[in-house]
Amino acid sequence: MKLDGHAKLTNSAMISYKSKCAMATSILLNHKLCRSTQFSTLNKSWADGENSNVDDNDMMTKYIIIQELSIFGEGALGLKQGYLVREVVAVDLEPMKLRHHFLDAGQKFHFMRRSTKPNISLAHEECVGFIKESVTKWISLMTRALSNRKGAGRRKITTVGLRREAASNMALALHALQDSFSPGHTKREKFTDPNFPGDIADIYIYSRQDHDKHSDDDFDSGSLSSVHAKAAIQASSELMYMAAKSVVNKSVVPIDWNEFQSKWLKMSGSKI
């Protein structure tokens, strides 16, 4: 997806996540993880709130770059409204992450295949493993942040650093997950119901693509009316809910990960 597509999809996923939390049967009902500003929307004046487009993409580019070039940089942002959404977008632009667009080893950040990994199965294993690893790190960091440990004299230790690092890891997972639904990144079996996405039949190598077509696919799949966007929104919402549920249940790994992978990230022919 494009920058604005990632922002619009993640905003929608945040709303869906909050609705899951509000269900009377939810283990997260009234939990602080549902009220956290980490799971809040990023408010922007979009040229088109429904469709990914050049104007909104340019706006998000300037928004992130200005922050990155400021004298204080990202560290001065704090955990404000829409911070996690901003982090999902920034995977494409932050200096330490931008390089992964061009490094073969960093293609998993965008659910794409290394040019040195001709085996699709190995590429799928690497990309899915990266998402799971990033979510597992979020669970660990947020578990520590919520433990409310005290320092000497019972003074509360600030958890901003832990929460910021957690958000960065969740952003990596969400960014890669959303990209897995773009036809410019993967070939999925045809599907019409976003709750039952097609299995992944191929993972593309960026350096061997028509980059103009890749760009068009990212705009299309980042538009909220597309079936790919709708699936990415639901998958993102479920990923966040699964991670939060794991923290509440004191699990060190994502609860029900295999079920999640089977629904949203299954490779064609896989038994999982």
Q: Where are the domains of the chain?
A: 3-264
Confidence at residue 100, expressed as pLDDT on a 0 to 100 scale: 58
Confidence at residue 116, expressed as pLDDT on a 0 to 100 scale: 85
| C-beta of residue 249 within 8 angstroms of C-beta of residue 27 | yes
Confidence at residue 71, expressed as pLDDT on a 0 to 100 scale: 47
Question: Which residues, in sequence order, are CB contacts of 125 under 8 Å at separation 6+?
Answer: none
Query: 170: buried, middle or exposed (CB in 10 Å: 19+, 13-18, 0-12)?
Result: buried
Confidence at residue 81, expressed as pLDDT on a 0 to 100 scale: 84
Confidence at residue 93, expressed as pLDDT on a 0 to 100 scale: 85
Give me the residues paired with residue 150 across strands.
156
- Provide the residue type at 190 as one letter: K
Confidence at residue 75, expressed as pLDDT on a 0 to 100 scale: 52
CA distance 33 to 40: 11
Confidence at residue 131, expressed as pLDDT on a 0 to 100 scale: 98
Output phi, psi for 203, to 5 deg: -125, 120
CA end-to-end span of the chain: 27
Confidence at residue 70, expressed as pLDDT on a 0 to 100 scale: 65
- Provide the residue type at 177 as one letter: L
Average pLDDT for runs of 10 along the chain of length 272:
97 95 82 86 96 97 82 57 92 68 82 88 95 98 80 61 92 98 97 96 92 94 97 98 94 96 92 58
